[in-house]
Amino acid sequence: MNNRIEELRGYLQPGRHIHLIGIGGVSMRPLGLVLQGMGMIVTGSDMSLSASTQELTDKGITVHIGHQGENIQGADCVIRTAAVHNDNPEIAAARSAGIPVFERAQAWGVIMREYKNAVCISGTHGKTTTTSMMTHILMEAQWDPTVMIGGYLPLLRAGHRVGKGDTIVLESCEYCDSFLNFSPTLAVVLNVEADHLDYFKDLADVQKSFRAFAGLSTNGVLANGDDPNVVEALKGTDYISFGLKESNRIRAEHISDWRHMDVTCDGEFYCHLDLQVIGRHNALNALAAIGAAWMLGIPGETAARGIATFTGAERRMQFKGKYNGADVYDDYAHHPDELCATIEAVRTLDYKRLVVAFQPHTYTRTKALFKDFVRELKKADLVVLAEIYAAREQNRVGISSKDLQAEIPGSQYCETLPEVTAFLRENVREGDVVLTVGAGDIFRAGEALLKSE
């Protein structure tokens, strides 16, 4: 893996022509802009026109719509997103022409070596929120960071930022061991759970990957000392712990409503936090971001001001509007632990009923964590289940949302999103809170509901 990164490093030089397949993607678009800013000639291709491809075109990057072999002409190397497979005509053309093909994560791994501080935020849950919080802190500190987030951040009006400072902060995903291509100077581990079981064998295999990721960091590891899976994964690793227990070096104290708290670092007061997001999980996300700020030498009052301006990332308990006297929110939760955190947070608010419209994400995850999904969904007052969002998979395990519906009393199964919207339209009433939940396109059901108001 390191040999491939070293090989790619030789290509990522000013004047070289780099072609990106899937350039309109959430991580590929900022990659193209960063490479362009480093003096490279960047071209790319994507399946369809979008606001993302238009932004790239407006900034002087040639974007081909549709994948064809001739698109790579003149390229010194090709970088692809994980969604692009070997049967792609541009991959075939590159290999036929002897042009090397690299992965997106490998490119980010090379790029972050150019920064003094490379803050890589990992975890089964909370990566987007914590990376967003860290971005708010760095912007408040006027560090002019480069940022890569797997979601939309209102502060940036995008999910990325190309800065001129010496710090880069990136959401770092464990799927397919992607983050093992990275070169963190500060590695943050929020939590570790059994997930992506279409790639990992089991929880122990996931923990092995996180342990390897932590071992890549050159200037420190910050990890959740309250999470037993993290503690087990990092056994024998030197790291600074954060959490609520007294044994942690970075601690939250005097907590009120999970939104107001003092933070101590090595027993000394660092700052007081006032959060604009709810829930225990977000308090821990904020503590991780604050801990990283402390390790970077940012003053506590500056870090606290940054956190205070964070109102949430897109699709993370995002308020969408009102329907029939009910509040409608959207959330990206697609793992049982994320469902648990979201439901617990909402239960602290003053609503009469919790209505959850849930769309499972991938067949393998639904099959592997079936009992856990049932347990968490039973906590809602009313559940409507959309069919499973396939994402990258085919249904080879023979599972459907109908199977969840059979285990959840009073729940409703809907084959299509318009049916979900119709069910909500007929059943939502004043005093309810409605959550559209999932990593697919369930948010469309909520948006359609609001349009019918």
Instruction: Say how far residue 26 (Cα) sits from the centre of its chain.
Output: 10
State the Cα–Cα distance between residues 107 and 371, nearest whole angstrom.
38
- Give the C-alpha separation, 179 to 171, whole Å: 9
pLDDT tens digits for 341-360? Answer: 899 888 888 899 999 999 99
Distance CA(20)–CA(393), nearest Å, equals: 23
Beta carbons within 10 angstroms of residue 357's beta carbon: 30
For range 208-215, the mean pLDDT: 97
d(CA 177, CA 190): 16
Beta strands 326-331 and 353-358 are: unpaired
E runs forming strands in 324-407: 326-331, 353-358, 382-386
The predicted pLDDT at position 318 comes to 86
Residues 6+ positions from 91 with CB-CB distance below 8 Å: 21, 78, 80, 84, 85, 101
Both structure tokens of 60: 């002087």
Beta strand extents in 177-238 (DSSP E only): 186-189, 221-224
Beta bridge partners of 355: 382, 434
Contact 261, 238 (CB under 8 A): no
pLDDT interval class at 2 (50, 70, 90):
low
Over the stretch 265-317, which tens digit does the pLDDT of each residue have?
A: 999 999 999 998 888 989 999 999 999 999 999 999 999 999 999 987 777 77
Average pLDDT over residues 194-203: 86
Specify the pTM.
0.80
Q: Sorting pLDDT into bands at 50, 70 and 90, what band is 243?
A: very high
> 436 is written with which tokens?
């559209």
Please determine, for residue 392, whether its predicted confidence score (pLDDT) is greater than 80: no
pLDDT per position as a tens digit, 69-105 = 999 999 999 999 877 888 999 999 999 999 999 999 9
- Which residue type, as a one-letter code, is found at position 16? R
Cα separation, 249 vs 266, whole angstroms? 5
Cβ atoms of 189 and 230 within 8 Å: the answer is yes
AA identity, residue 225: G
Q: What is the DSSP string of 230-258?
A: HHHHTTT---EEEESSTT-SEEEEEEETT
Token couple for 21: 């397949």
Angstrom distances, CA of residue 395 to CA of 201, 297, 384, 387, 399: 19, 49, 21, 12, 7
- Length of the chain, please? 453
| Angstrom distance (rounded) from CA 108 to CA 114 | 10
Confidence of residue 151 (pLDDT cuts 50, 70, 90): confident
Distances (CA, A) of 15 to 36, 76, 366: 10, 10, 47
Phi first, then psi: give them for residue 122, nearest 5 degrees: -120, 170
Q: Name all domains of the chain by residue range, CATH numbers in brackets.
A: 2-104 (3.40.50.720), 115-308 (3.40.1190.10), 318-451 (3.90.190.20)
* Most confident region among 18-22, 312-316, 320-324 by mean pLDDT: 18-22
With tokens 């991580």, the residue in question is 27
What percent of the chain has pLDDT above 70? 99
Cβ–Cβ contacts within 10 Å for residue 59, how many? 13
